[in-house]
A and B are shown apart, each in its own frame.
Chain A
Amino acid sequence: MGLLDKEFSQENIVITSVDDLMNWARLSSLWQVGFGLACCAIEMMATSAAHYDFDRFGVIPRNSPRHSDVIIISGTVTLKMATRIKRIYEQMPDPKYVISMGSCSNCGGPYWEHGYHVLKGMDRVVPVDVYVPGCPPRPEALLEGLLKLQEKIRNESLVSKETV
């Protein structure tokens, strides 16, 4: 909104639809569960840090799934961890979103054939909104993934809601 509020000399009203207002509010403060699993987590932390500054999109790492809107699965998901991820996902309040970050989480990555303990794709356990490719993805790629998620949220509607 910038300095728009200083532009009016008198009280005023803004007309918008409920959908636009809700979507704007939701996409502007996506709080994420801090959930680093492997080397992708280093890139995720770099994205949160000063240089790439995730905070300018309203993304703040939280330590509890109950405070969070989005979970970034950043790293190799083992079968043992997959059961825990499902549980964490179920604790998040709706509306909730999942970003699958990196090849491991997208499809098993380098462990696709001989990784006896690796889940071959996060989408076998929880629904995924955005897949970010890369091994690991650069912080710019994760930012792009977040912008894609924001685009998705911007087009949502309370009338025909598509989130799970």
Chain B
Amino acid sequence: MKSTEEILELLKGKFGSDIIGLVSAPPEKMIDITPASLYNVAVFLRNNEELDFDNLMLLSGLDDANGSTLSVVYHIESVKEKHKLVLRVTVPKDNPITESVVKVWECANWHEREAFDLIGIKFNNHPNLIRILMPYDWNAGHPLRKDYKNPEFYQGMKVPY
């Protein structure tokens, strides 16, 4: 079992400046990393024998509400080692592209589709990045973004109350 600080040191030794740092968000601590390094970090975390992060518990898309960035937060755990870790990548709102981790944790598939559907984050190398909750022909944007405006009509049905 390893603490977040110990894992951070391991990651810094391996990936250097791609690991941005530790963010305290009580009751948890998050490790900020760059979108470009995400896939390699994920592979390392899963395959390293001391870490053995075999389970992606949750992947959430976030609008940071600062007008310029979106985030994706990964909660991962190791069933055998009984430790947990929170990872975060931040992407610019005007070009929100990050890496898919479907090849590392298969269950990320639908989670990433949800983050794409509701927040509008694009995941490179996702096998099937289409909307999962909203209708496929929804063209009014991504509903959980802070600047989202609901359309007046969808397929001839009035949407507002």
Contacts and interface: CB of A to CB of B under 8 A. Distances in A.
Given A117-B134, A117-B143, A79 B159 contact: yes
**Chain B interface main SS type:** loop
Contact of A113 (B133, B135, B157, B161): B161
Contacts of B150: 116
A151 to B, nearest CB: 30
B26 interface: no
Interface of A: 79-80, 82-83, 107-108, 112-113, 116-117, 119-120, 124-125
A117 B148 CA distance: 13
Nearest to B131: A80
Interface string B144-157: 00001010001101
Given A79-B154, A83-B155, A117 B160 contact: no
Contact of A120 (B143, B148, B161): B161
B80 interface: no
A56 B115 CA distance: 48
Contact of A80 (B135, B143, B148, B160): B135
Interface of B: 133-135, 143, 148, 150, 154-155, 157-161
B157 A116 contact: no
A100 B160 CA distance: 19
18 contacts: A79-B135, A79-B155, A79-B159, A80-B135, A82-B157, A83-B135, A108-B161, A112-B161, A113-B161, A116-B148, A116-B150, A117-B134, A117-B143, A120-B158, A120-B159, A120-B160, A124-B157, A125-B157
A79 B143 CA distance: 13
Contacts of B155: 79, 83
A131 B148 CA distance: 32
Contacts of B158: 120, 124
Contacts of A125: 157
Contacts of A107: 161
Contact of A79 (B148, B157, B161): B157
A85 to B, nearest CB: 11
